[in-house]
Chains A and B, each alone.
Chain A
Amino acid sequence: DTAVSQTPKYLVTQMGNDKSIKCEQNLGHDTMYWYKQDSKKFLKIMFSYNNKELIINETVPNRFSPKSPDKAHLNLHINSLELGDSAVYFCASSQGRGAWDTQYFGPGTRLTVL
């Protein structure tokens, strides 16, 4: 009965490959997010979707494409992986889209690009 789940937990791949990370929330929330925590430990927002509509898109390369098939899922597809993409990616969800809407995070996916 995990609230926000991500698969896979670990992902090791070669440069140039295309990979996807899946995220699902069973909280009935309307808003979902993707964050990236880089090697310097900064946790930065990448995307936010509200009711399947993109509402936040920070300066992320267009090799990253989020896809929301329904309110409960927000998957992250990454094309042409680069060494600098190695990081921990966290999915999160919240009931609404305001800062006061508590965001619930998944356990993270550690991506290593070789």
Chain B
Amino acid sequence: DQQVKQNSPSLSVQEGRISILNCDYTNSMFDYFLWYKKYPAEGPTFLISISSIKDKNEDGRFTVFLNKSAKHLSLHIVPSQPGDSAVYFCAASPMNDGGSQGNLIFGKGTKLSVKP
């Protein structure tokens, strides 16, 4: 039962254009969302996060949008660069009795290719 879904396994974008990676979730108890980036043969690295009390968070070229009613978030990368080519994982954390814990629920990832 996939609680976090990334329905596009891959995305190809031209350098300088916008990359939009999408993520859907099913659990309304999720209250914190994150994006991780992963290069081959390396572990995932944290990219950006957003709390459920916000609908947008921006960090340089990276912006995450959250639409709670649609249970959807997206990551925008503008402008895209060849070095952004990696697998991007969406992750969510449920609110438990003890508050949000670090048990992140990950999607399957989307492989982004940015072509020069």
Contacts and interface: CB of A to CB of B under 8 A. Distances in A.
B101 A56 contact: yes
A27 interface: no
Interface centre among B41, B44, B51, B93 (most CB of A within 10 A): B44
Contacts, number: 65
Contact of A97 (B32, B45, B102, B108): B102
B103 A45 contact: yes
Name the interface size band of chain B: 20 to 34
A58 B106 CA distance: 14
B60 to A, nearest CB: 16
B99 interface: yes
B43 A90 contact: yes
Given A42-B106, A42-B108, A43-B106, A100 B45 contact: no
A48 B102 contact: yes
A99 B42 contact: no
Given A40-B108, A44-B106, A107 B101 contact: no
Contacts of A101: 102
A102 B46 contact: yes
B106 A56 contact: no
Interface in B86-116: 89, 93, 99-104, 106, 108-109
Given A58-B103, A104-B45, A107-B43, 20 more contacts: A4-B43, A31-B102, A41-B108, A41-B109, A43-B44, A43-B109, A45-B104, A55-B101, A90-B44, A97-B102, A99-B32, A99-B101, A100-B49, A100-B51, A102-B46, A103-B104, A105-B44, A105-B45, A106-B43, A107-B41
User: Which 8 residue pairs of A and B lie closest in terms of their CB atoms, listed nearest first?
Assistant: A105-B43, A99-B93, A99-B100, A43-B106, A99-B32, A102-B46, A41-B108, A105-B44
10 contacts: A4-B43, A43-B44, A56-B101, A98-B101, A99-B32, A100-B100, A105-B44, A105-B45, A106-B43, A108-B43
Interface of B: 31-32, 34, 36, 41-46, 49, 51, 89, 93, 99-104, 106, 108-109
